[in-house]
Amino acid sequence: MMNNRFIRQLTVPEFGENGQKILESNHVGIIGCGGLGSHLADFFVRMGVQTLTIIDDDCVELSNLHRTALYTEKDIGTPKTTTLSKHLLAINPRLKIHAHTTRLTAPNTEQLLASCNIILDGTDNIPTRYLVNELSVKHHIPWVYAGVYSTIGMILAIIPASGPCFSCVHPTLSQPSETNIPVIGHLPAAVAAIQCSEALKILLGTLSPKLIIYNLWTQQIDHLDIQKNPDCPICCKQQFSYLKK
């Protein structure tokens, strides 16, 4: 049965049986269970991830439903983590899922994520990404940043040992003042799909990370080659100010 389950992706040359084995043996962490995070969890569990950590402190709201995977109107008011777990276990009852209904903060970040082999970003704020970046560098765990705005998505795979970290790309980015940012409903699924590809290539060891800027409306895709900053306080000097807060 298991072979039948994945037969259609085992025959994809870029992925194959090796990719399947790697996917099934790695522990994936997803931070945030909204637009990006719900699609990421759905993709990874359907593709064969066996061990998953999900983290979010919010409940499902009506205004989430246009851009999220799996949630329904019946789920409104329930914690995203427990509800997403329920849907994911319906896809694969053998899934080992660690669902944490909490906000990721400096005191709990290492405890919740240090055992992951790769981390996927589904958060909605910049400070959490700096926190995850520090964890990534300190514990040598790759992660894949992604963000969405309107019809645009940005994605960057971060492999701290070999490439630029999030702080190398922008060391002092502030949180935008705008609240309720515009996001067209099908954008998070598209961006999460790209993020998923980047994560798979990290696990397979075939990725050359570049910042990807994708416009879902115009179908333009742009790649930026950004190098490690030799003066980066995080990945070159190991100064972890967010983890110490």
Partner 1 sequence: MHLTITLHGRYKTLAGSSQLKITIPDNATIWHVIDTFIHQYPEVAKDKSRMMVTKNHSYVSPDTPIHKTDSISIAPPLVSGG
Told to check if 188 binds partner 1 by CB under 8 A, we report: yes
Told to check if 132 binds Zn ion by CB under 5 A, we report: no
Site string for partner 1, 155-184 (x = CB under 8 A): -------------xxxx-xxxx----x-x-
Site string for Zn ion, 141-180 (x = CB under 5 A): ------------------------x-xx------------
* 28-36, 80-88, 89-97, 130-138 -> range binding partner 1 (CB under 8 A): 28-36
Told to check if 235 binds Zn ion by CB under 5 A, we report: yes
Residue 176 contact partner, candidates Zn ion, partner 1, none, CB within 5 to 8 A by sort of partner:
partner 1
Told to check if 209 binds partner 1 by CB under 8 A, we report: no
* 1-9, 30-38, 86-94, 100-108 -> range binding partner 1 (CB under 8 A): 30-38
Q: Nearest to residue 182, comparing CAs of 214, 149, 133, 143?
A: 149
Residue 51 contact partner, candidates partner 1, Zn ion, none, CB within 5 to 8 A by sort of partner:
none
Residue 227 contact partner, candidates partner 1, Zn ion, none, CB within 5 to 8 A by sort of partner:
partner 1
User: Which residues contact residue 102 at a Cβ distance below 8 angstroms, ignoring those fewer than 6 apart?
Assistant: 55, 57, 108, 112
For 222, counting Cβ atoms within 10 Å of its Cβ (0-12 exposed, 13-18 middle, 19+ buried), the class is exposed
- Distance of alpha carbon 53 from alpha carbon 85, whole angstroms: 10
Minimum CB separation of residue 146 from partner 1 in Å reads: 8
Nearer to partner 1 (CB atom), residue 22 or residue 149: 149
What token pair was written down for 196?
A: 């998923």
Query: Where on the chain is the footprint of partner 1 (CB under 8 A)?
Result: 32, 34-37, 121-126, 129, 145-149, 152-154, 168-171, 173-176, 181, 183, 188, 211, 213, 215, 218, 220, 222, 224-229
